[in-house]
Structure 1
Amino acid sequence: MIETERKVAFLLADGYEDSEMKNPFEAITKNGFTAEIIGLEREVELRGKKGTITYTTHMSIDEANADDYEAIVIPGGHSPEKLLECEAVLEFLRIANEKDITISAICHGPLLLSKAGLAQGRNFTSYSGVAEEIAKEGGVYSDEAVVVDKNFVTSRGPQDEPYFIEETIRRLGATPN
């Protein structure tokens, strides 16, 4: 029997919150998954907003297929705002949602879910500064460390990373290491 590679996509642009990328990325790979970074362009180095880390995209959103992933992680910071206007990113999320793929978004990340039209009637949490904007699109905000609603896992920010990571890994059917 051939074992298939288990992959998790990270949607990323410049200015992401350093720890919200680094910590989930390391946890995902430590738990046996392949993490692939998808950006607006292939093989572009992206820098965190604090400048402590950089990552290079593996592929562009135009090359990505949602069916290839068991989960999608959206780190916060300024990255989601740079991805908001890309229709291919929004369509990638819509397809993933239709297929019930886990979508984990932290801090500003839930803005992408809202922009993709996926917030209506869904429970979420996020950075408090964007909660009202998402609520305008029909999302129901809770000020909690992590909120799970069907295939969505959302968190407020860096202080909630342990809960965010644990719940994301649990959704992948793994026991967090």
Structure 2
Amino acid sequence: MPITRDPHVADNRAAIGSETTSRGRVAILTADQVEDVEFFYPYYRFVEEGYEVDVLTPSGEKITGYKGLALSTGVTPVKDADAQDYDALFIPGGLAPAEVRQDADAIAFVNEFADTGRLIGAVCHGPQVLVTAGLVSGRCMTSWREVADEVRAAGGVYQDEPVVEDGQFITSRKPGDMPLEMRRIFERLNLESAGDRS
């Protein structure tokens, strides 16, 4: 019997999605040197909740976290993505935001997505991408403490809290905050989905 070429065998961190109907589609915007937990935890949680996940990067190639965890399945160049296709955008931290914020296509995508009014989550250094996209002014946000001054300088109101929600933005500081952040993200997605059905 021939061996099937299942991408989940070659790429053993690629999530196997639900066999039920998709609840929607989520984009995770990142790059190499992402904080491994801040990427994989929401990636698996979105899939577990029934969402299809596209990993968008400037290069469209395999990403490797700075602790060495890698993923190549489902990674797409951000320049090929359409913001209208997604129900939510999530931006993890680590060193990846430094690369993402230098990519004009990535910043254009973030702005196009923000214009939809749909949910944007970010953690740790992820809000740096929102700063570069010009989306922080007048907003309450949190981030890793080293990003706090940058949030303030961009006109944001920095709050040192596990989760800060302001309009379409939900931000958190670090990996340990993410269970609270993800719970709130799913609460919001469920509310928005219920609104679509009414």
Q: Percent identity?
A: 35
Could you say which residue in structure 2 is the equivalent of 1:12? 30
Could you say which residue in structure 2 is the equivalent of 1:158? 175
Could you say which residue in structure 2 is the equivalent of 1:29? 47
Could you say which residue in structure 2 is the equivalent of 1:144? 161
Could you say which residue in structure 1 is the equivalent of 2:109? 92
Specify the structure having the higher radius of gyration (Cα).
2
Q: Name the structure with the higher helix share.
A: 2
The answer to whether 1:115 aligns with 2:127 is no
The answer to whether 1:54 aligns with 2:74 is no
Could you say which residue in structure 1 is the equivalent of 2:91? 74
> Hey, what's the Cα distance between the residues in 1 that align with 2:97 and 2:71?
16
**CA offset digits 1:55-96 (Å, max 9, x no partner):** 125310110011000000101000111111111111111111
Gaps of 5+ in 2: 1-20, 192-198
**CA offset digits 1:81-127 (Å, max 9, x no partner):** 11111111111111111110111000000000011000010000000
- Structure 1 residue matching 2:53: 3-state secondary structure: strand
2:141 to 124, 135, 138: 124
> Hey, what's the Cα distance between the residues in 1 that align with 2:94 and 2:168?
22
Aligned structure 1 segments of 4 or more residues deviating by more than 6 angstroms: none
Give the aligned residue type for 2:45: A
The two structures, once aligned, show a CA RMSD in angstroms of 1.3
1:134 to 151, 157, 160: 151
1:40 to 48, 52, 58: 58
Give the aligned residue type for 2:31: A
Give the aligned residue type for 1:78: L
Give the aligned residue type for 1:55: L
Tell me the matched-pair count: 170
- Structure 1 residue matching 2:181: 3-state secondary structure: helix
Greater relative contact order (Cα < 8 A, sep 6+) = 1
> Hey, what's the Cα distance between the residues in 1 that align with 2:22 and 2:123?
28
TM-score (norm 1): 0.92
> Hey, what's the Cα distance between the residues in 2 that align with 1:118 and 1:78?
20
Inter-CA distance 27–4: structure 2 relative to 1 (3 Å threshold): closer
